[in-house]
Structure 1
Amino acid sequence: MTVPLVDWLRAQDDETLAALLRLRPDLAVPPPADVTVLATRAGIRASVHRASDDLDTVALAVLEALVVADADRVAAERAEVARLLGPDVTAAALDAALAALQARALVWGDEAGLRVVPAARDVVPAYPGNLGRRAGGPAASSGLPGLLEGLPPEERRVLDALIAGPPIGRSRSAAEPDSPVGRLLDKGLLIRLDTETVELPQQVGIALRGERPMGRIEATPPALSTRERPASQVDGTAGGAAMELLRRVERLVELWGTAPPTVLRSGGLGVRDLRRTARELETDEAGAALIVEVALAADLLGQSDSPNPDWLPTTAADAWSAAGIEQRWVALARAWLELPRLPGLVGRRDDADRPINALSETLRRPVAPRDRKRVLAALADLPPGTAVTTPEALGDLLAWRAPRRGGRLRDEIVRWTLEEGTLIGVVALDALAEPGRALLAAAPGENGPVVAALRAVLPEPVDTVLLQADLTAVAPGPLVTALARELQLMADVESAGGATVYRFSEASVRRALDSGRSVTDLKELLEAKSSTPVPQALTYLIEDVGRRHGRLRGGVASAFLRSDDEVLLSEVLAHPETAALELRRIAPTVAVSPAPLAELLDGLRAAGFSPAAEDASGGVLDLGPRGARTDPRRPRNRSVLADPSEERIDAVVAKMRAGDALAAARRGAGNALPANGSSHTLATLQEAARAQRQVWIGYVDGHGVQGERVLAPLTVGGGIVEGRDAVDGEVYRLPLHRITRIALIES
């Protein structure tokens, strides 16, 4: 006879229980007091549903066959389960499936008697194996095969229509005794449910299906169509995508720092703002939605605290920008991997037919990280450089591995993961790149291997550029951080990729001069960092802008304007486009304006002049926009239950074993007697110490809380008993006056 689940679990070793808690982490929250509690939780319907989500097609078919065999009520033999599954499931596949089910405590027992948790009947379809319920009468008799062979053709056609399932049919002739359905009802080969509905009994369906009682079972995973690509090409493409991602996120921080979009009343980002962001980032709306979602998850963006909040970069974005290339990418890639949202839903409509916006709560899906990792894990099973031909092929494989996973968005999630992974730099050319493999294998917070993997696929940073006669500079690879920042200050990025092209213009050079660089600084930097001679046209551009730059000096008066050239100042005052600035000359070389300094300089530039701002010492003052910031507020991701650590699992197993030991000791103590005075307590403890026996003690601690403990007394005296705990092996001291009940434990 098969033992109950609690006894079967209690007989397993600690390694088996630890493996169970790893496969079903919900059983350990909160830690069960003993194995009895563990067995109770293992049979709860919701927990059984979660455990079944990880089963593949064969394991689910075996679970279904056990339910057909009524293993939730009585023990079923392995041979009967194998017969129900038919020839599609080999003995080895059946053994592997049973091992997977037993490891999750969904099935227990041996070949002679297998049992399944009762909640399994709620997990399998309403008609397991597409078979009806068991019936009595002719359907359960040994003469059923002969009865089926002697059926007229019209009656056999009725049964054949119900064989494949579901075993339910409707017929208006069910109430007519002379109809084929009526005659089958009279013979007991159909069961009447109502006046028009009949059901094919389980025994009849099994007999008609022959060697496949549960129908055909896809016992082997579908072949995955792949193509081979050079691993170096995959990694190089991923490295380029990683660099492009960093450039776009930097641009996003700059853009939203100067022109932050407004948070919608319903939360999220407006459609117009998303389109503008996509245009500025040089990507489509889907790519822009992913970038802003990842930036928010990485805590680079947040909402301001104003009554009408905006989306702003956080102060953490400045620290992120100052980090190295690899560290910045790892922060973004890990944020994407753990993102409990589906950016692919942006642009669709919700159940209320409202558009789904980026950064809105509608995108939240707590199981998204799990599904994303499943797709990447399937790619990781392939050799480096091996790519899938289509997302549909990968989706079919994942559907076989876990038919209950994914829901109605299963196929879309596969496609979204490949597309998003390509933009992030984890996937390239439909294959998993080395940085993606390292990211998937690394533990949370373990960034070293991921940084090393990305560094290996990126070209070495260069500290030189190629200056060209058309006022452009070509960076043949990623620039060192200092040179990249200086070049972005004096030139604009024209195209990005493996080689970045920068273009110099009057506005970009003036931007560098406005930030405090001098003409000499710019020329010396370009001469030192260019692999080619500095083109004469670029030198002329810098000198020409520098010659005109700063001839006019602005200050705060609200603002003042001064120039050593009195004629130039007179020209400014007479210019028709400067009238709105309300300039007033207070000295031959000085004029003042009520306009703010930044507005004064912008107005002069619009009129065709090239003023510069100066501080109190006469130095150039940088008034360039620095971008608004808000405090970082990392959201608490309501994700799926985190995998417990090995230390925590070991502690839970030890706690359960201790609880079982305490329960056994309590049973061995029989009916514990009240501690009638200190003399009775002292005598019992002294007897236990002499006989080296254990004693069960009920006590009240210093806070008035009742407890119990099993001790092997070592010393008794001075109103204190000192003994070794039978559960954890520690030595405890307990005052005699706190003991309320006591009993010797029978050997």
Structure 2
Amino acid sequence: MSVSTLTEWLRERDDAALARLLGARPDLATPIPADTSVLATRAGSRASVARAAESLDTFTLAVLDALLLCDADTRPVTLAEVAAMLGTKVSRKSARQGVDTLVGLALAWGPESALSVAPSAREAAGMFPGGLGRRSAELDGRDLAAVLAELSEPERRVLATLAEGQPTGRSKDANTLVPLEQARTPVQQLLARGLLLRLDADTVELPRQVGLALRGANPMGQVKVSPPPVQTTGRTLSTVDSTAAGEAMELIRHTEALIALWSAEPPPVLRAGGLGVRDIRKLARELQADEVRCTLIAEIALGAGLVVATDTTSPQWVPTTQADVWLAATPPHRWATLAAAWLDLPRLPGLAGSKDLRDKVISPLSDELRRPLAPTARRRVLDALGEFEPGTGVDSTEELAGLLAWRAPRRGGRLRDELVFWTVREAQALGLVAFGTLTSPARILLEDGPALAAKRMAEAMPTPVDHVLVQADLTVVAPGPLEQALGHEINLVADVESAGGATVYRVSETSVRRALDAGRTSTDLHELFRTRSRTPIPQALTYMIDDVARRHGQLRGGAAMSFLRCDDEALLAEVAASAAGTRLELRKIAPGVLVSPVPLADVLEELRTAGFAPSAEDADGRLMDLRPSGLRAQARQRPKTSGLPKPASPEQLADLVSSMRAGDKAAGTRRGRTVALAGGRGADTSETLALLQEAVTNGRNVYIGYVDAHGTASQRVIEPVRVGAGVLEGLDSTRSETHRFALHRITSVSLVED
């Protein structure tokens, strides 16, 4: 027996089927549909059909096209007709499975003998379902096989080309229509025969009847029933995770460098927003990385709340106070913070450097990179990688993009394939993907969150080492990640020369002076290298430390605004007589003492620029570290973003279905005496109470209109049990459950007629 409308078909579905429908198409459940007729109206709307079609794979979309080519939007069609339209290379079983998928989503309905689709499906499917053009009334009833047999070879080639792909083509010969005897080109001849339709002066269309005749047993051409194959390679999981851990450590190092650089020299925010070309290039030089990677690091730092644009007259990109918290954390937790921020980042770093619709280059950190659905696309790619066994990776990102394109060809728009490449590239930089496979920390991050992912990454990262190897050429080799305290001291006294599995530092006079400025003494530095180096200390390093320390601190400054003191009167006189001394307004107040009205930090900087090597001391004569800690801005509260909405629970879906069932019952109920809305001010309370009490006394059911706390209106048939204290308690007959309804939210009450 055929079902004439979607509403009738939905009413016949069981509760489990409706719950599955609402779970698969969540837009149908918001706001809560009053009854099944409202659900059917939404399910058949163009926007909802188009949204549901985005989740369909290539084959299921072909089945939907086949239904439309059979005109299932205007008349019921059979499964046999749909299978015939799909062609002989598609089995009846596959056709039935495709139809079942569409029926489960309410994109099609009815039994196999009378299948229908909503009229809006034709709009959502596009102009040419199955790559076939529109029908031509002129060709109805004509023997196309005989007509095609009479065509010349050039004419057949034109038709074959249009039949294999899209049914439209451009030709200058479509400019004018001429009789067949005057036609000189294949296109003009086909137009004259009615085998092509002229759309405009440059465009022709192949009529559907001709396309079907040319395609023969496969009216829709080559239908892709199965997803394309993806070549994979297996590796040991420990190799994958250790490789990813190396990338994670490099990411942490680069983020630290960005924070340090922007603390000292924060780049300006462009007038249109974002980071300028010169600043991203400068960052690339400092990090010794390409601009694509630097853009990614800056975007992640922004997403993690480590940097922010200041709200000043001349805004700058400045690290936040949250950056100090991040720097104090352990490497695994630092990585987890960055990885979680990238996963939920509502932006596309891969777009940076491309041009927008106005042909302007899109800058890093600009609003043009904002894409709210980016987290959804990111998780979709990672979930696809997660379907393979741990340690098994795809050999080609192109094949992965092809697989995802088959699964959802309408999702992602023009950036569909680029999103896959960007996601894989960025996930590799974050240590979430290695050798084309999802790493163990990445799987845990997706399922359990950053806290547990950090623990797994800690197991994958190499154990921190407590020693270094000092070389004769004044380089210091760290054979692995250094313990946090040791790493801080080595970074203070040496500069990174090359990073990787083993980091190479170089000690220079400048780096030694930096350590002395920070309050370290020559004894401290000798002790550091003596106790932490597994190789003998070269004499050149000992001499360098002693030589720099001997010159360092001979000239000491204090605040008066500031003062300088020195036992060497000749050196003090030289400083006072220098151009820097004149600018600092130095004057002698006692033997070996100069004072200045300039702050001490500025005095020291000016003298160091002039070639002197002063140091600062406190009230007790101890060396002080006056280096600026870097600019900081207050971290802002970041909104919780997630690309994927939280799916409804089975209990919530059951409540939705029950609410609709109640609405259906209420819609079919005969109503008697009614207390309705009065002048828009709500129902009369005394009349409402009287009618409800009468129903309780006589055991009568009532039909109520109700608006809940969220403003959602519904209708229920209730068996009243008790009325009092501003509340109606009644039995909902659809669920056999007692519910409480606030009287002031009841908009109407009617007695139910038997």
Query: Could you state the TM-score of these two structures normalised by the residue count of structure 2?
Result: 0.86
For 2:514 and 2:199, locate their aligned partners in 1 and report how far apart those are by CA, in whole Å: 84
Gaps of 5+ in 1: none
1:342-361 correspondence to structure 2 within 5 Å: 342-361=348-367
Work out whether residues 236 and 458 of structure 1, in 8 Å CA contact, stay in contact via their aligned partners in 2.
yes
Matching residue of 1:243 = 249
Distance apart, 1:29 and its partner CA: 3.3
The change in CA–CA distance for 1:583 and 1:381 in structure 2 (over 3 A counts) is: same
> Which of 725, 746, 751 is 1:743 aligned to?
751
For 1:197 and 1:351, locate their aligned partners in 2 and report how far apart those are by CA, in whole Å: 27
Matching residue of 1:560 = 563
The change in CA–CA distance for 1:720 and 1:308 in structure 2 (over 3 A counts) is: closer
Work out whether residues 389 and 430 of structure 1, in 8 Å CA contact, stay in contact via their aligned partners in 2.
yes
Q: Which residue identity is paired with 1:331?
A: T
Distance apart, 1:488 and its partner CA: 1.6
For 1:577 and 1:465, locate their aligned partners in 2 and report how far apart those are by CA, in whole Å: 40
Please tell me whether residue 428 in structure 1 is matched to residue 434 in structure 2.
yes
Moved more, 319-328 or 733-742: 733-742
Work out whether residues 669 and 696 of structure 1, in 8 Å CA contact, stay in contact via their aligned partners in 2.
no
Work out whether residues 257 and 287 of structure 2, in 8 Å CA contact, stay in contact via their aligned partners in 1.
yes
Distance apart, 1:707 and its partner CA: 8.5
Distance apart, 1:400 and its partner CA: 2.0
Distance apart, 1:281 and its partner CA: 1.0
SS of the residue 1:730 aligns to:
strand
Work out whether residues 294 and 332 of structure 1, in 8 Å CA contact, stay in contact via their aligned partners in 2.
yes
For 1:659 and 1:209, locate their aligned partners in 2 and report how far apart those are by CA, in whole Å: 46
The change in CA–CA distance for 1:103 and 1:522 in structure 2 (over 3 A counts) is: farther
Matching residue of 1:5 = 6
For 1:172 and 1:457, locate their aligned partners in 2 and report how far apart those are by CA, in whole Å: 68
The change in CA–CA distance for 1:462 and 1:38 in structure 2 (over 3 A counts) is: farther
Any idea what the Cα deviations from partners look like across 1:496-539, whole Å, max 9, x if unmatched? 11112222223222222322233343344444433345444434
Matching residue of 2:447 = 442
Q: Which residue identity is paired with 1:583?
A: L
Q: Which residue identity is paired with 1:121?
A: R
Count of residue correspondences = 737
Matching residue of 1:645 = 647
Please tell me whether residue 600 in structure 1 is matched to residue 607 in structure 2.
no
Gaps of 5+ in 2: 677-683
For 2:613 and 2:188, locate their aligned partners in 1 and report how far apart those are by CA, in whole Å: 100
Work out whether residues 68 and 129 of structure 2, in 8 Å CA contact, stay in contact via their aligned partners in 1.
yes
SS of the residue 2:564 aligns to:
strand
Matching residue of 1:711 = 718
For 1:360 and 1:494, locate their aligned partners in 2 and report how far apart those are by CA, in whole Å: 32
Matching residue of 1:724 = 731
Please tell me whether residue 264 in structure 1 is matched to residue 275 in structure 2.
no
Q: Which residue identity is paired with 2:738?
A: E
Distance apart, 1:264 and its partner CA: 0.9
The change in CA–CA distance for 1:370 and 1:323 in structure 2 (over 3 A counts) is: same
Distance apart, 1:80 and its partner CA: 0.9
Distance apart, 1:269 and its partner CA: 1.0
Please tell me whether residue 624 in structure 1 is matched to residue 631 in structure 2.
no
Fraction of identical pairs, as percent: 48
For 1:718 and 1:392, locate their aligned partners in 2 and report how far apart those are by CA, in whole Å: 67
Any idea what the Cα deviations from partners look like across 1:547-602, whole Å, max 9, x if unmatched? 43323220122210113444543454456764443321111121112333123222
> Which of 528, 531, 534 is 1:531 aligned to?
534
Moved more, 576-585 or 618-627: 576-585
For 1:492 and 1:679, locate their aligned partners in 2 and report how far apart those are by CA, in whole Å: 86
SS of the residue 1:668 aligns to:
coil
Matching residue of 1:221 = 227
1:389-408 correspondence to structure 2 within 5 Å: 389-408=395-414
For 1:599 and 1:184, locate their aligned partners in 2 and report how far apart those are by CA, in whole Å: 87
Any idea what the Cα deviations from partners look like across 1:686-725, whole Å, max 9, x if unmatched? 56655x55233469999x9998654323357999975434
The change in CA–CA distance for 1:172 and 1:658 in structure 2 (over 3 A counts) is: closer
For 2:130 and 2:37, locate their aligned partners in 1 and report how far apart those are by CA, in whole Å: 32
Please tell me whether residue 456 in structure 1 is matched to residue 459 in structure 2.
yes
Matching residue of 2:325 = 319
For 2:338 and 2:461, locate their aligned partners in 1 and report how far apart those are by CA, in whole Å: 17
The change in CA–CA distance for 1:454 and 1:140 in structure 2 (over 3 A counts) is: farther
> Which of 586, 611, 616 is 2:614 aligned to?
611
**CA RMSD, Structure 1 to Structure 2 (Å):** 3.9
Distance apart, 1:679 and its partner CA: 10
Moved more, 129-138 or 465-474: 129-138
1:296-335 correspondence to structure 2 within 5 Å: 296-335=302-341
Q: Which residue identity is paired with 2:226?
A: T
Please tell me whether residue 519 in structure 1 is matched to residue 527 in structure 2.
no
For 1:720 and 1:226, locate their aligned partners in 2 and report how far apart those are by CA, in whole Å: 64
For 2:438 and 2:54, locate their aligned partners in 1 and report how far apart those are by CA, in whole Å: 25
Moved more, 517-526 or 583-592: 517-526
Work out whether residues 662 and 715 of structure 2, in 8 Å CA contact, stay in contact via their aligned partners in 1.
no
For 1:377 and 1:716, locate their aligned partners in 2 and report how far apart those are by CA, in whole Å: 53
Please tell me whether residue 106 in structure 1 is matched to residue 107 in structure 2.
yes
Any idea what the Cα deviations from partners look like across 1:189-211, whole Å, max 9, x if unmatched? 77787999876553453244221
The change in CA–CA distance for 1:335 and 1:100 in structure 2 (over 3 A counts) is: farther
The change in CA–CA distance for 1:737 and 1:199 in structure 2 (over 3 A counts) is: closer
> Which of 689, 695, 702 is 1:695 aligned to?
702
Matching residue of 1:470 = 473
For 1:295 and 1:331, locate their aligned partners in 2 and report how far apart those are by CA, in whole Å: 10
Matching residue of 2:679 = none
Distance apart, 1:247 and its partner CA: 0.6
Matching residue of 1:506 = 509
Work out whether residues 34 and 657 of structure 1, in 8 Å CA contact, stay in contact via their aligned partners in 2.
no
Distance apart, 1:371 and its partner CA: 2.8
Moved more, 60-69 or 148-157: 148-157
The change in CA–CA distance for 1:721 and 1:253 in structure 2 (over 3 A counts) is: closer
The change in CA–CA distance for 1:359 and 1:36 in structure 2 (over 3 A counts) is: same
Moved more, 194-203 or 596-605: 194-203
The change in CA–CA distance for 1:507 and 1:656 in structure 2 (over 3 A counts) is: same
SS of the residue 2:671 aligns to:
coil
SS of the residue 1:592 aligns to:
strand
Moved more, 612-621 or 169-178: 169-178
Any idea what the Cα deviations from partners look like across 1:633-671, whole Å, max 9, x if unmatched? 35658875x322344x74355134224314413532434
Please tell me whether residue 94 in structure 1 is matched to residue 102 in structure 2.
no
Distance apart, 1:152 and its partner CA: 6.4
Matching residue of 1:482 = 485
SS of the residue 1:696 aligns to:
strand
Distance apart, 1:234 and its partner CA: 3.0
The change in CA–CA distance for 1:359 and 1:209 in structure 2 (over 3 A counts) is: same
Work out whether residues 175 and 196 of structure 1, in 8 Å CA contact, stay in contact via their aligned partners in 2.
no
Distance apart, 1:370 and its partner CA: 2.8
The change in CA–CA distance for 1:257 and 1:214 in structure 2 (over 3 A counts) is: same
The change in CA–CA distance for 1:33 and 1:614 in structure 2 (over 3 A counts) is: farther
For 1:581 and 1:677, locate their aligned partners in 2 and report how far apart those are by CA, in whole Å: 85
Distance apart, 1:623 and its partner CA: 0.8
Matching residue of 2:66 = 65
Q: Which residue identity is paired with 2:702?
A: V
Moved more, 238-247 or 376-385: 376-385
Please tell me whether residue 416 in structure 1 is matched to residue 419 in structure 2.
no
For 2:559 and 2:199, locate their aligned partners in 1 and report how far apart those are by CA, in whole Å: 92
Any idea what the Cα deviations from partners look like across 1:460-479, whole Å, max 9, x if unmatched? 22223233333333222222
For 1:716 and 1:637, locate their aligned partners in 2 and report how far apart those are by CA, in whole Å: 43
Q: Which residue identity is paired with 1:296?
A: L
For 2:430 and 2:284, locate their aligned partners in 1 and report how far apart those are by CA, in whole Å: 16
